[in-house]
A = this chain, B = another copy of it.
Amino acid sequence: MDIPNRVIGRLSAYRRHLRRWLSEGREQVYSHDLATQEGITPAQVRRDLMTIGYTGSPARGYDVHGLLTRIGELLDPRPDEGIILIGAGRLGRAMLDYLAAQHPEYPVRAAIDNDPELVGRVIHGCRCHADGDLEDIIRDEQVTIGIVAVPADSAQDVADRLVRAGIRGLLNFAPVRLRVPAGVYTQDLDIAVSLEKVAFLARGQAKAQETHE
């Protein structure tokens, strides 16, 4: 099965609304309910659900619980998919805190920082290790995803080491585009670029709005 990138992002968003509705006791939803929440067309929602092979019923819509289960099969992390954070600076610590509080399904196995001040500290249940331990931790702790939150200068070096140690995916906050070999997936999340987009579009008369991505 081949699910486009964009669709994954929307499924993740749908899931949040579905969870909320489920907790409110709602059992069915229509494509236009999800569409309204996300500011897209109902046709888009149906198309997305079609690509993951989930079908609803005319006149009753989609089953909230069933759809959540289906999306979960695709998106829920497997138990052997650990995360490692490189760079326990301000952004890195904010992420640790946020993930621990809001996303227990993504356990950060370890943090790495080259500041001796930080090494050995335990931040939100996550131990901070020295730079040199990176390779061992990835091999020993079933880590497949790396979050890169080091300064721009070091980001590519860090990424290279992670790749060599066998990482599968990277989420990068440093303002550089990481170069990785095929088979490793990188998502560069450049906040400064996003801010520049907002500033530009707020200046001229904007037409549309845009979600993450």
Which residues of A are at the interface with B, using a C-beta cutoff of 8 A? 3, 5, 8-9, 12-13, 16, 37-39, 74-75, 77-78, 81, 90-91, 93-95, 97-98, 102-103, 106, 144-145, 147, 168-171, 175-180, 182-203, 205-213
Known A197-B5, A200-B74; contact A103-B192, beta-carbon cutoff 8 A: yes
User: Does A198 contact B5, Cβ atoms closer than 8 Å?
Assistant: no
Q: How far is the CA of A30 from the CA of B147 in the complex (A)?
A: 32
Copy number in this complex?
2
Q: How far is the CA of A9 from the CA of B130 in the complex (A)?
A: 35
- Return A162 CB to nearest CB of chain B, in Å: 12
Please, could you name 8 A-B residue pairs with CB atoms under 8 Å apart, sorted by A? A8-B196, A9-B193, A75-B199, A145-B202, A177-B211, A185-B201, A187-B194, A189-B189
Q: How far is the CA of A187 from the CA of B75 in the complex (A)?
A: 23
Q: How far is the CA of A74 from the CA of B13 in the complex (A)?
A: 32
User: Does A188 contact B206, Cβ atoms closer than 8 Å?
Assistant: no
User: Does B175 contact A188, Cβ atoms closer than 8 Å?
Assistant: no
9 smallest A-B Cβ distances: which pairs? A169-B202, A185-B206, A168-B202, A90-B94, A185-B201, A169-B198, A213-B213, A186-B209, A190-B212
User: Does A198 contact B171, Cβ atoms closer than 8 Å?
Assistant: yes
List residues of chain B with CB within 8 A of the CB of A209: 178, 180, 185-188
